[in-house]
């Protein structure tokens, strides 16, 4: 097998030729990086370009910056451009990038992502916008020849996801979705050590859940948008609502106009994680009930209570969220519980616990931190420190597949399946009936009314992407 050089940040170098070569930092001792690199090496996947890739970020808010800075930690890329409709957020991000990237160059800034793509022709594009702005920039980027890292969920309706998948395949671009549970070290370990070794036995039920009190409870008055925010462009293809301080930044998740509620935000992570751990494809049917049952005083229009059942062959996966009351297990307020006839496995972003039936050795593993290897994690504003190693591993997997032109662990097709399944749950709750999904036809079986809801109306002048013409 040929030797493949992997160029990484901070002087780290790995070569695959039947062995690993480690530098003085002992980079592979870091479990997240070691996991990603060993997988890449085993598959003869490497990021081998001597010339740094040209990178652009569209959406410079909270997670856009988290993703970008993890990429800068593991690869010698050059961030050439940033895009955002909030001028203050854009300027702040440009200054932070100039401080953190090796060249110290300040990236060019743009308000319109189309102008950025035209002028800069980046090789890698990160899309970290609110959910209603994922599809159009991602499709434009792959049409322009870029490989893309797009945040989850990939879109706000199912036809958007179909178009994104079609565009990635047509233009032969690598697209990684930000469902980084697939690259979380302790979750990968739980899959390999517990599930794949058969320690659970026959799994008959999986529960996934979120009990965070994360729904906006306020009801502030509508107001004039701040001067630094282009609210018309921010709204884009979504319905125009009066500006409200809940909308920007971050609290936009309180409104269905911009996303798919807590199911679209939190369920997708746990559903995708379970699909990854158990090698599940599309659910055969999805049903859901719930609504705004308790917190009726808020301006938020997303559900505060919802249960959804994803019916896979011989396995129901049942989601529940509520934004009030106590979690049944305080150690697992957001996670998954897999029930088998030989044992039970609980998994979250913070840990996993396996308990065999009838006694025997229990297994516990906590999340991996890499604060000493990456001390900037200690002070970065709003960073979820426990997630940073997973993001780095996710980026390394993305880069490795850019080099090999393979499919990353969270390929756009996997992101489409998990996103669409969550959207089907919301549609089921809206319609009051179970929905059977036909993956071959990419439609809901024998339900014309439901199929009309697979595509949300776009606000003019924005045009909804069509899978047949991307």
Low-confidence ranges of the chain (pLDDT < 50): 1-49
Query: Per the structure block, which two tokens stand in for 226?
Result: 């701040």
Q: What pLDDT was estimated at residue 271?
A: 99
**Tell me, what's the pLDDT at 39?**
47
pLDDT (0 to 100) of residue 51: 86
Q: Alpha-carbon distance 366 to 359, whole Å? A: 22
Q: Is the peptide bond before 275 cis (omega within 30 degrees of 0)?
A: no
Strand partners, 58: 83, 127
pLDDT digits (tens, 9 = 90+) for 111-138: 999 999 999 999 999 999 999 999 999 9
**Helices assigned H by DSSP within 304-463:** 388-404, 412-431, 448-451
Res 50: pLDDT: 61
Read off the pLDDT of residues 288-299 as tens digits, 9 standing for 90 and up: 999 999 999 999
pLDDT digits (tens, 9 = 90+) for 257-314: 999 999 999 999 999 999 999 999 999 999 999 999 999 999 999 999 999 999 999 9
Task: Give me the domains of the chain, ranges plus CATH numbers.
Answer: 4-42 (no CATH), 54-169+387-391 (3.40.50.720), 183-370+415-469 (3.30.360.10)
The 10s digit of each residue's pLDDT in 315-333 is 999 999 999 999 999 999 9
DSSP-derived secondary structure for 245-303:
TTTTTTGGGG-GGGS-HHIIIIIHHHHHHHHHHHT----SEEEEEEES-S-TTSS--S-
Q: How far apart are the C-alpha atoms of 179 and 176, rounded to whole Å?
A: 9
Q: Which helix (H) or strand (E) holds 94?
A: helix 87-100
Q: How far apart are CA 220 and CA 217, in angstroms?
A: 10
Q: What is the DSSP code string of 389-432?
A: HHHHHHHHHHHHHHHHT---TTBHHHHHHHHHHHHHHHHHHHHT
Q: Please name the helix (run of DSSP H) or strand (run of DSSP E) that holds residue 73, with its range, or none.
A: helix 62-74
pLDDT of residue 249: 86
- What do you get for the CA distance between the two ends of the chain, in Å? 37
Reported pTM: 0.91
């Amino acid at each position: 097998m040929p030797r493949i050089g992997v160029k990484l940040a901070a002087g780290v170098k790995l070569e695959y030729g039947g062995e690993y070569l480690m530098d003085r930092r002992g980079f592979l001792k870091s479990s997240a990086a070691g996991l990603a690199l060993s997988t890449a090496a085993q598959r003869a996947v490497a990021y081998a370009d001597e010339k740094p890739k040209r990178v652009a970020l569209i959406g410079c808010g909270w997670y856009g910056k988290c993703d970008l800075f993890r990429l800068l930690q593991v690869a010698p890329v050059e961030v050439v451009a940033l895009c955002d409709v909030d001028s203050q957020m854009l300027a702040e991000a440009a200054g932070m990038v100039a401080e953190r990237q090796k060249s110290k160059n300040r990236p060019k800034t743009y308000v319109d992502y189309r102008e950025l793509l035209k002028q800069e022709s980046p090789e890698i594009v990160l899309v970290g916008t609110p959910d209603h702005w994922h599809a159009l920039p991602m499709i434009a980027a792959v049409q322009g020849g870029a490989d893309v890292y797009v945040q989850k969920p990939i879109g706000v309706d199912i036809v958007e996801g179909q178009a994104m998948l079609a565009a990635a395949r047509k233009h032969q671009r690598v697209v990684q979705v930000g469902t980084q549970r697939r690259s979380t070290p302790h979750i990968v370990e739980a899959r390999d050590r517990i599930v794949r070794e058969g320690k659970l036995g026959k799994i008959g039920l999986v529960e996934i859940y979120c009990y965070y009190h994360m729904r906006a409870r306020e009801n502030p008055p509508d107001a004039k948008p701040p001067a630094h925010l282009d609210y018309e462009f921010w709204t884009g293809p979504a319905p125009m609502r009066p500006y409200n301080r809940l909308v920007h930044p971050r609290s936009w998740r309180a409104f269905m106009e911009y996303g798919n509620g807590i199911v679209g935000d939190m369920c997708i992570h746990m559903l995708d994680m379970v699909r990854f751990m158990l090698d599940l494809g599309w659910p055969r049917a999805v049903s859901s009930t719930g609504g705004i049952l308790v917190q009726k005083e808020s301006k938020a229009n997303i559900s505060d209570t919802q249960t959804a059942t994803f019916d896979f062959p011989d396995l129901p996966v049942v989601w529940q969220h509520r934004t009030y009351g106590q979690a049944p297990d305080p150690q697992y307020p957001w996670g998954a519980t897999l029930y088998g006839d030989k044992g039970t496995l609980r998994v979250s972003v913070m840990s996993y616990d396996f308990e065999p039936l009838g006694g025997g050795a229990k297994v516990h593993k906590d999340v991996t931190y890499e604060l000493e290897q990456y001390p900037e994690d200690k002070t970065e504003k709003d960073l979820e420190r426990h997630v940073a190693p997973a993001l780095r591993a996710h980026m390394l997997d993305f880069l490795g597949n850019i080099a090999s032109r393979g499919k990353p662990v969270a390929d756009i097709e996997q992101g489409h399946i998990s996103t669409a399944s969550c959207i089907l749950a919301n549609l089921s709750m809206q319609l009051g009936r179970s929905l059977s999904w036909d993956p071959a036809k990419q439609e809901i079986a024998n339900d014309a009314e439901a199929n009309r809801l697979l595509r949300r109306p776009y606000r003019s002048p924005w045009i909804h992407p069509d899978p047949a013409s991307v």
